[in-house]
Amino acid sequence: MAIKSPTSMHKHNNPPSSPWEILGHMGFLETLIRITCVGVILSELAAVAVVFPYPIALPNCPKMCGNMEIPYPFGLTEDCSRDHNFFVNCTNSSEPFIPTHIIVKNISLHGQIDISMSIAHDCYKKGAMFAWNNPWLNSPLNFTVSSTQNKFVVVGCDTVAFLVGSQQNESYATGCASVCESTRFLVSGSCTGVGCCEVDIPKGFKNVTWVSRSFQKHKMVEKFNPCGYAFISKQDTFNFSIDSLRTLRDQQMMPMVLEWAIGNETCNDVENKSNYICGDNSSCQNSEDGSGYRCKCKDGYDGNPYLSHGCQDIDECQDPSNCNHPGQGCINEPGKFTCFCIKGYHLDQSARVCVTNQSSLHFKLLVGVGISFIVMLVCSSWLYLMVKQRKLIKLRQRFFEQNGGLILQQKLSKPENSTATAKIFTTEELKKATNNYDETLIIGRGGFGTVYKGLFPDNRIVAIKKSKTVDESQIEQFINEVVVLSQINHRNVVKLLGCCLETQVPLLVYEFIPNGTLFEYIHHKNEASTVSWEIRLRIAAEIAEALSYLHFAASPPIIHRDVKSSNILLDSTHTAKVSDFGASRLVPLDQTQLATMVQGTLGYLDPEYMQTSQLTEKSDVYSFGVVLVELLTGEKALSFDKPEEERSLAIRFLSFLKDNRLFEILEKHIAKEGKAEQFKEVANLAKRCLQLKGEDRPTMKEVATELEGLRKMEMHTWVNVDSNSEEIEFLLGETSYSYKYNASNKSANVCDSVRDHVIFNLDDGR
C-alpha cells in the first residue's frame, strides 16, 4: 500500500477531521473494518478511473483529428465548439486549421495553441529581386501571438525586417537588422546581429505581418547569401548556424505559439453571468496577454475545466511517493488525500509517525535520553549563571567599598546631613535608564568622561556622567563633594541627584537640562543675532548669583575653577544653570589651597592662578568676567584664526575699552538697542573682574548685586515708559522677572568642562 510522511498528511490547509484523531478513539476491530471498506471503495474508484478517463470534449462530440486531441472549447463542428473562433476544420487531418486558415499542430488547455506560419523572404540575383513574400496572420478574437513562447528572428547578411501589427487596438511595429560581409565572423548558436538577430514579442500582439528587405539588394553577399529571411518562431525551436543562410530558402514554415482566452471580459465581470463556462472544481484566471479569461482545475483535480463536470478528483494514492513511510496507508478524498497507520502500527503522537511497539519503546528511550541531556544542559547553564552572578555581585560590592560607598552611607545617615537628597543608585538602574549605555544617548564628551541621557521609570529625564578615571587617594574627598553638592538647592545650579559606586569608576547623576549651553546660544549664527541684550543681562545676573551662592552660602565654600559659557546650561525657559563641577574644589573657610596642577580652560584661566597656583574664589571672578565679555561682544574667548596679539578676547576687550572704543567691539545688533550707559556699566564691571591681581577684583557677591541693580534699573525704566497698570502690578508682584525667548528648542547637549582643558604639572604638592 502507498505511504506518505505524516508531516504532509493533508494536501489542503483545512481538511475535515483527521484520521489520526479518529484512530486514537476507535477500537482495533472497528478500525480494521473501516480500513477494509475504504480499500474496497478505492479499488472500485480506481477501476472506474481506468474505464472512464477524464472527458475532454462535449458529450457525443468527436475529440480526435488524426492523432491530435481537440479539447473543448475547441470543436470539430460548429455545435461542438464554443463559437466559430474555436472551430477546427479537419478536412485534411494532417493539417487541421482554425479560422483564417491557421494550421494547428497542438492545443493546450493551459491557453496555448501551436501553429505553423510561413517564413518571409526576399531574394536577389544581380541586384534584381526575383522572389519575395510578406506573410501575415489575421488571428481570431482573443488569439494573440504569445510574448513568452516566441521570438521574432531575422536571418541574413544584408537584411532588415519589420514586424507590424496591433496591440490593444493600436498600431505597433518592431524589428531588427542583420549584417555581415562574409561568413568569417558568423558564430553558430549566436543571434546577436551578425548573420542573425532577434527581438521579443510584445504582449497582446495580433493581426501581424512580417516583412524582409535588403539594404543593398544583396550585391555584396550574393554569392553566399542571396536571400534574407524573417519569421516568428517558437522559442528553442530555431538554432542559427552558417548553413541557415542557405537552407532556410527551402524551408517554408516555422512553429509559432498563440495564446487564447474566452470572451473579452475579466473574471470579476463574467463569473455571475450565464455565459461563464468554467466548470465544477475549477477557478477563473484573467488572460495575461490580452482580454478575456481562462479556466483552471483546482489543486487535487484534473480534466477539462471548460466542461461542466470536467475537473475530477485525482487519486493521489496511486502515486507511490505519497504515504510511503513504514506503516502508513493512504485514503483518497475529494481534492486531497490522508495517510493513516496500518495494522500492526500505531501513531506516535509526539513524533507524528507510525511505529511498532518495539520501535516505540526505542523511540521513547531515545526521547528520554534526549530530555535528560537537555535537563543536564539547562542545570549546568543555570549553575554557571549563578556562579557568574555571584562573582558579579562580589565585584560590585568591592567597587562600592573601594569607591567609598560605606563612607557615603555613614555621612548621609548623620543628623547634620539629614537634608541631603543624594541617592545611591544601582548599576542596573542606570543601565536600564541608558539602554545599557547606548551610544545614541551620548549628549556630551570631555576630558573627564562621557555624559549620557537617561530615563527613569517615573519618566524623569537625567544626565548620567560616566568618568574615565578616578584617584583612589582622593576617594574621601570625592565623597565629601558628593554630600555637599547634593545639598545645593539653587535655581541656577544644576542639581546633583546622586551617584552609583558599584562600577570601577563612580557614575554621577544630574538633573537633565534640555536647551543646550550658553556657548551655543550666543555663538550659533542662526540664534546669536536674535538674543537681545535684556536676555543676556538676565543670564549674566543668574550666573553671578549662582557663583555668589557657591562662594558665600555653601558650607564649606565651593570654587568652581572652570567657569565658561559651555559650562552654563539653559533650561526650557532659558534660565541659566551652572554645571560641571568636575574640576571644582571645596575650600575650608578663611583658607586657600595650593593646587598640584593648574586646571581650567584656555581663554578663561585666571593669570594669577596660573602663576601662583593659589586657588581662591577670585579665579572664578576672572572667568566670569570673560563670560560677561562674551555676552557683550558675541565673540569666543579664544580665537586661533586671528593674529596672536588678538587671540585672547579678554586682552582685546580691555584694549578697546582703554581706547574708548567700546561700541566698536560690542555685538552689532545689541549695540543698536541704544542702552549706552548700561553697556558702559557692564563693561566697567567686566574690566574690574579681569584685573590681573585677584585682590583688585570684586567678589561674586558684589558682582551679583551690581548686575541685579542694573537689571532693576532697566525694568523700572521700562515701567515708566509704559504706564499700563496691569503690567506694573505684574512687575511689582513678582520677586523675579522671567523672560521668554522663542528660540527653537534644540536637543540637550551637556558639555564637559574639561573637553578643552589645559593642565600644568607643578613640582610642589598641596
Look at residue 523 in the predicted model and tell me its pLDDT: 86
Mean pLDDT value of segment 680-694: 93
Q: What is the pLDDT of residues 398-422, one digit of tens each?
A: 777 777 777 777 766 666 555 556 7
Look at residue 235 in the predicted model and tell me its pLDDT: 92
Q: Which residues are paired to 255 by β-bridges?
A: 116
175-179, 391-395, 688-692: lowest mean pLDDT where? Answer: 391-395
Strands 496-500 and 423-424: parallel
Rounded CA gap, 143 and 733, in Å? 93
Question: What's the chain's Rg over C-alpha atoms?
Answer: 48
Write out the three cell numbers for 552.
558665600
> Strands, DSSP E only, in 322-418?
328-333, 336-341, 346-348, 353-355
Look at residue 729 in the predicted model and tell me its pLDDT: 35
Report which residue type is found at 371: I
Write out the three cell numbers for 267.
473574471
**Contact (Cβ atoms closer than 8 angstroms) between residue 743 and residue 530:** yes
Look at residue 728 in the predicted model and tell me its pLDDT: 29
Write out the three cell numbers for 38.
475504504
Q: What is the pLDDT of residues 51-68, one digit of tens each?
A: 347 899 999 999 999 999
Return the biggest CA–CA distance within the chain. 128
730 pLDDT above the threshold of 60 = no
Rounded to a whole number of angstroms, the distance between the first and last alpha carbons of the chain is 99
What is the pLDDT of the chain when averaged over all its residues?
80
Q: What is the pLDDT of residues 249-308, one digit of tens each?
A: 888 899 999 999 998 899 999 999 999 999 999 999 998 877 899 999 999 999 999 999
More confident residue, 3 or 134: 134
Secondary structure (3-state) at 172:
strand
H-helix segments, 634-761: 649-658, 662-665, 668-671, 676-689, 700-721, 725-733
144 pLDDT above the threshold of 60 = yes
Domains of the chain: 6-53+315-355 (no CATH), 112-260 (2.60.120), 403-511 (3.30.200.20), 518-737+747-760 (1.10.510.10)
Rounded CA gap, 752 and 448, in Å? 7
Mean pLDDT value of segment 103-132: 92
For the entire predicted model, the pTM comes to: 0.45
Percent of the chain whose pLDDT exceeds 70: 79
Rounded CA gap, 641 and 647, in Å? 8
Which residue, chain included where needed, has cell 561674586? 700
More confident residue, 556 or 605: 605
Q: What is the pLDDT of residues 151-171, one digit of tens each?
A: 999 999 999 999 999 988 889
386-395, 475-484, 534-543, 582-591: lowest mean pLDDT where? Answer: 582-591
Rounded CA gap, 660 and 675, in Å? 16
Look at residue 747 in the predicted model and tell me its pLDDT: 34
In this structure, the number of other CB atoms found within 10 A of the CB of residue 529 comes to: 12
Mean pLDDT value of segment 520-530: 72
117 pLDDT above the threshold of 90 = yes
Write out the three cell numbers for 262.
474566452
Which residue, chain included where needed, has cell 538633573? 511
**Contact (Cβ atoms closer than 8 angstroms) between residue 677 and residue 663:** no
Phi and psi torsions of 750, nearest 5°:
-75, 115
Distance of CA 66 to CAs 115, 480, 672, Å?
Answer: 16, 109, 106
Known catalytic residues are 562
Write out the three cell numbers for 7.
508531516
Please work out, in degrees rounded to the nearest 5, the angle formed at the alpha carbon of residue 648 by the alpha carbons of 644 and 651: 105
Mean pLDDT value of segment 619-623: 94
Q: What's 54's DSSP letter?
A: P
182-186, 316-320, 692-696: lowest mean pLDDT where? Answer: 182-186
Mean pLDDT value of segment 546-560: 88
Look at residue 33 in the predicted model and tell me its pLDDT: 37
Secondary structure (3-state) at 145:
strand
131-145, 370-384, 653-667, 720-734: lowest mean pLDDT where? Answer: 720-734
Residues in CB range of 439: below 8 A, 6 or more apart: none
Rounded CA gap, 448 and 580, in Å? 10
22 pLDDT above the threshold of 80 = no
343-357, 363-377, 641-655, 721-735: lowest mean pLDDT where? Answer: 721-735
749 pLDDT above the threshold of 50 = no
Q: What is the pLDDT of residues 334-348, one digit of tens each?
A: 999 999 988 878 887
559 pLDDT above the threshold of 60 = yes
Residues in CB range of 560: below 8 A, 6 or more apart: 547, 550, 567, 578, 581, 583, 584, 620, 623
Rounded CA gap, 313 and 333, in Å? 8
Look at residue 359 in the predicted model and tell me its pLDDT: 58
Q: Which residues are paired to 165 by β-bridges?
A: 172
Look at residue 44 in the predicted model and tell me its pLDDT: 43
